[in-house]
């Protein structure tokens, strides 16, 4: 009886294992399931990665266009100019710091040093009396098509823009605080300046330095340059080396730019102009 019980126990123990063939079949099945699962998972992951990259590119492009649009909107009328650089374009403009309407007391027949603004400037605050040599005043800029009535080339004792380095003093008249009867008053140093002709809407603009957007298809970059002096000939400052050479500050706006194109129907973008990028 004991021998029979031992044999039965050994038989049950041997039946609990598995064969090598069964192990191989399981491994093969696991591999098939893993391959099928990977095929389903890989596509969504790749799609997510592509979507993330595409969103980053779109965001970069939109940010660049918004930055350019801000500068174009505040550009001095008739100051937007574009030159083809061979590998892209250079888009230059003169952003305005502020603007207003000058009073009829401004004399256009001779150099005038003192005149009032109708009301107050809006974009910058004048603390009582404020003077600077970095601002330049512009009246009736007609753009590159009209000799000596172009803010980029105007020079001499009579023109559309005060000479660089001229002291411009702002104050409040007749009393402190602008508003009501008190208006902003301007004094032009050095004996004043004679503006060439009256603006149809008596508009005066305050500018500082130009801004250039340089799009380079070779480097695949869009870069903003600012803080350099006004230059008559744009073709002398339409490369990175030339702009940096005249002291411009730089900021990369976008990378991976494959195609550069910029056109403008007119320089007067604040009234009816169109800049296409």
**What is the rounded CA–CA span in Å between residue 121 and residue 42?**
60
Instruction: Report how many domains make up the chain.
Output: 2
Query: The whole model's pTM is what?
Result: 0.76
Sorting pLDDT into bands at 50, 70 and 90, what band is 245?
very high
Quote the longest CA-to-CA distance of the chain. 138
Residue with the bigger pLDDT between 120 and 266: it is 120
Per-residue pLDDT, 267: 47
pLDDT at 111 over 50: yes
Quote the tokens at residue 82.
Answer: 């574009």
Does one domain contain both 254 and 233?
Answer: yes
Contacts of 6 (CB under 8 A, 6+ apart): none
Give the domain-ending residue among 207, 227, 253. Answer: 207
Residue with the bigger pLDDT between 228 and 61: it is 228
Residues 204 and 101 sit within 8 Å (Cβ to Cβ): yes
CB hemisphere CA count around 175 (13 angstroms): 3
Task: Quote the distance between the C-alpha of residue 22 and its chain's center.
Answer: 68
Does one domain contain both 88 and 225?
Answer: yes
Quote the tokens at residue 277.
Answer: 């990028």
Does one domain contain both 182 and 214?
Answer: no
Within a domain: residue 88?
yes
Does one domain contain both 122 and 201?
Answer: yes
Does one domain contain both 121 and 176?
Answer: yes
Give the domain-ending residue among 151, 180, 207. Answer: 207
Q: Are strands 158-159 and 194-195 parallel, antiparallel or unpaired?
A: parallel
Range of the domain at 85: 55-93+210-276
**What is the rounded CA–CA span in Å between residue 109 and residue 227?**
33
**What is the rounded CA–CA span in Å between residue 48 and residue 53?**
9
Q: What is the CA radius of gyration of the chain?
A: 35
Task: Quote the distance between the C-alpha of residue 29 and its chain's center.
Answer: 58
Within a domain: residue 17?
no
Does one domain contain both 81 and 115?
Answer: no
Q: Are strands 203-207 and 168-173 parallel, antiparallel or unpaired?
A: unpaired
124-174 tens-digit pLDDT: 777 778 899 999 999 999 887 776 788 998 777 678 999 999 999 998 888
Within a domain: residue 73?
yes
Within a domain: residue 130?
yes
Contacts of 148 (CB under 8 A, 6+ apart): 154, 155, 156, 158, 159, 160, 196
51-82 tens-digit pLDDT: 777 777 677 778 888 888 899 899 999 899 88
DSSP 133: S
Give the domain-ending residue among 159, 175, 207. Answer: 207
Does one domain contain both 202 and 108?
Answer: yes
Q: What does pLDDT average to over the chain?
A: 83
Q: Where in 209-248 does DSSP place strands (E)?
A: 211-216, 221-226
Sorting pLDDT into bands at 50, 70 and 90, what band is 270?
very low
18-43 tens-digit pLDDT: 687 778 888 888 888 887 777 777 77
């Amino acid at each position: 009886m004991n021998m029979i019980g031992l044999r039965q126990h050994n038989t049950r123990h041997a039946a609990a294992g598995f064969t090598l063939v069964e192990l191989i079949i399981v491994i093969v099945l696991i591999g098939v399931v893993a391959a099928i699962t990977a095929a389903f998972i890989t596509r969504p992951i790749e799609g997510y990665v592509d979507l993330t990259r595409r969103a980053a590119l779109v965001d970069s492009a939109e940010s660049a266009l918004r930055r350019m649009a801000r500068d174009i909107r505040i550009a001095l009328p008739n100051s937007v100019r574009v030159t083809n650089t061979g590998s892209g374009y250079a888009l230059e403009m003169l952003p305005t710091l502020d603007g207003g309407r000058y009073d009829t007391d401004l004399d256009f027949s001779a150099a005038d040093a003192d005149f009032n603004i109708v009301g107050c400037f809006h974009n910058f605050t004048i603390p009582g009396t404020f003077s600077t040599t970095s601002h330049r005043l512009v009246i009736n800029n007609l753009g590159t098509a009209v000799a000596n009535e172009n803010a980029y080339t105007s020079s001499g004792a009579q023109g559309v823009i005060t000479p660089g380095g001229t002291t411009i003093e702002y104050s409040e008249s007749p009393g402190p605080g602008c508003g009501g009867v008190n208006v902003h008053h301007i004094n032009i140093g050095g004996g004043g300046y004679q503006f060439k002709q009256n603006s149809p809407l008596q508009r005066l603009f305050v500018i500082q330095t130009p801004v250039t957007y340089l799009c380079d298809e070779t480097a695949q970059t869009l870069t903003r340059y600012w803080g350099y002096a006004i230059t008559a000939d744009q073709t002398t400052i339409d490369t990175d080396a030339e702009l940096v050479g005249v002291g411009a500050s730089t900021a990369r706006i976008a990378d991976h730019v494959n195609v550069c194109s910029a056109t403008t129907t007119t320089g007067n973008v604040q009234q009816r102009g169109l800049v296409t990028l």
